[in-house]
Amino acid sequence: MFSKNTKATLLCGPKELSKSFMFEIAMYWAERGRRVVYITPAPLERRPAVCHDRSNPGVAALKLIRFIYLSNYEAFGEQLIKLHTYATVPSVLLINDLDDYFNEESAENDLSTNIAKTCALIFHSMNLCSRVTKINVHVCAWTTSILTNNFLQTIYFRNIWNVTEEEGGKVILLEKLFTTSSLESYKYDKFEDGMRVLQQILYDSEEV
């Protein structure tokens, strides 16, 4: 199941930050020519507010992003199975608010088993995309609580970051979890640090 060709990042933080960060990550990959599938439980009513000082996304980059709105667990699983059959197979999968797909009904009274099965399906699907595209593929998911401090997070995700706001939302603090590196955290002011923080977050998923 675990392939060196599938890189995984998990972001743990408040729900109000998820849309901005995940949209920025979508643009990060699209501007590098990657085809991105962005899965979210609810439609984006407007373009999320940016966290970085950057220009508006170009048309070419936006065309590489496929937004898919899946309101329930069943639709989510069905879509994962189809990823490698797309006419243009994605090499990046973003899952916004992953927790929304783990509710009491979908978990069937066994949340850990449900999470494990879903994560296994995510990685199996992206492994197939890697075989089709013949390049490394990337998964990035956002969790607000369910995967935070859950032993399953370290099994499926090797690049894990905790995201918090400070100083009334003017400052973002990112702390890398479960690492022996001396560079374990980054602190930056909104709108003043360009794409530096995203490059730091995604560095490990690119290189490992």
pLDDT tens, position by position, 23-77: 888 988 998 999 999 999 987 766 655 555 555 667 888 899 999 999 888 899 9
- Chunked in runs of 10, what are the mean pLDDT values of the chain (208 residues)? 81 87 88 94 67 65 92 92 95 94 63 86 95 95 82 83 77 74 61 57 56
Separation CA 19–CA 15 (nearest Å): 8
User: Is 193 within a domain?
Assistant: yes
Its domain, for residue 124, covers 6-202
Query: So what's the pLDDT on residue 103?
Result: 65
Query: So what's the pLDDT on residue 208?
Result: 39
Query: So what's the pLDDT on residue 192?
Result: 55
How many separate domains does the chain show?
Answer: 1
Separation CA 111–CA 55 (nearest Å): 41
Backbone angles phi, psi at 168, to 5 degrees: 65, 30
pTM for the structure as a whole: 0.85
Tell me the DSSP string of 109-142: T-HHHHHHHHHHHHHHHHHHHHHHHTS-EEEEEE
User: Is 176 within a domain?
Assistant: yes
DSSP state of 168: G
User: Is 208 within a domain?
Assistant: no
Q: Three-state SS for 69?
A: strand
**CATH code, 173:** 3.40.50.300
User: Is 18 within a domain?
Assistant: yes
User: Is 207 within a domain?
Assistant: no
**Integer CA distances (angstroms), 125 to 84, 98, 104, 140, in order:** 7, 16, 24, 14
Separation CA 69–CA 40 (nearest Å): 5
User: Is 84 within a domain?
Assistant: yes
User: Is 80 within a domain?
Assistant: yes
Query: So what's the pLDDT on residue 45?
Result: 66
CA angle 39, 104, 162 (to 5 degrees): 55
User: Is 124 within a domain?
Assistant: yes
Query: So what's the pLDDT on residue 203?
Result: 57
Query: So what's the pLDDT on residue 114?
Result: 83
